[in-house]
Chain A
Amino acid sequence: MTDATDTQIFDAEPQLGDYYALMKPRVMQLVVFTAVVGMLAAPIAVNPVIGFASILFLAIGAGASGALNMWWDADIDAVMKRTAKRPIPAGKISAQSAMYLGVALSGLSVMMLSLSANLLAGFMLAFTIFFYVVPYSMWLKRSTPQNIVIGGAAGAFPPVIGWIIATGDIMVLEPWLMFALIFMWTPPHFWALALFMRNDYDDAKVPMLTVTHGRRATRNHILGYTILLVILAVATAFTAIGGWVYLATALVLNALFLKGAYDIWQRDEVMSEADNFAVERKFFRLSLWYLFAHFGAILLEAALKPFGMGGW
């Protein structure tokens, strides 16, 4: 981060919506959804009030890490087209305010989650915020093309925390399968984005794979990670959180996802530019549905269990 962001001139008073945008609401939605699935897929039922409060505090923690990420990355965000309208580069909120808000909400969310659920859940949230802000944002993002791979772990923790909220237990396979699903899904998702937002990362000098190893290598990596993801996603169907609904969902979506990755692998830059990266954009949109459908299916399996259905 540079001092440039601290000397901005602010045209208008920041509004509540600007602070909300600082917390990366779309990431928060994903965090809430996957954490709710992790919590409800667990074998122990949670008191609805405690469950609601715990997920809310987890969402606040995710928002806090988003604010800290925007504080640190304000210089990068200002250069990239995709992020130039975020509250700090747009001149709505100062970088310092974002930092204060992020630190305050991090402390509050960890403390409240520890009280509402259990200490382990609070510790895991603290670790997730730390992992996203320090190793990912401050270090890996600007230093290695594997930034997305390792940083993806931060986004993969919410279902594990959801599971811990319900059970207080971390030493079982199922939450880590959900973790692995998001962890393996993140690289192809972001590399597809990097292929069609091609100048953004170059301009910001972020060492994305497209910049450091070239676009051919990125296409190869997308296919490689997708193959591993497909194996993992389908195998999850045969565990305690899987079942017929999940298996059917996984078979359809993984066939489509694998086809998308193969199509991307087959293309070169000339072909992609000819149709304005239509295949890469389609794969990126599919990746959003892919994750939503897999976690939706896990949720459905859990919801069917009390009726004697769901699972195997």
Chain B
Amino acid sequence: MTKINFVDHSGQTRTIDVENGATVMEAAIRNAIPGIEAECGGACACATCHVYVDEAWRAIVGEPSPMEEDMLDFGYDVKPDSRLSCQIKVTAELDGLIVRTPERQA
């Protein structure tokens, strides 16, 4: 199990235990984390599971793929640390990951 921290727009942190292999988006939806919508259900087709990756974690999480970059064009308030959480697979390496959810998804 890997711990993932979600910080919402108001600054409140929610920490959940996630099974490795799931995506950060799936973990968020299963645990009813507010601020993640995932309209398309994880197909990298809607940009409503957008998160900001904490600076300390950006190198470990990595950069978005070209397909994900394309989808981020349709995200709300996209920044250099933006990722789509449906494209981040949880591994032991990510234990303690901090992601922030934007004010809105669309």
Q: Real complex partners, A and B?
A: no
Binding site for B on A (CB under 8 A): none
Interface residues of B (CB under 8 A from A): none
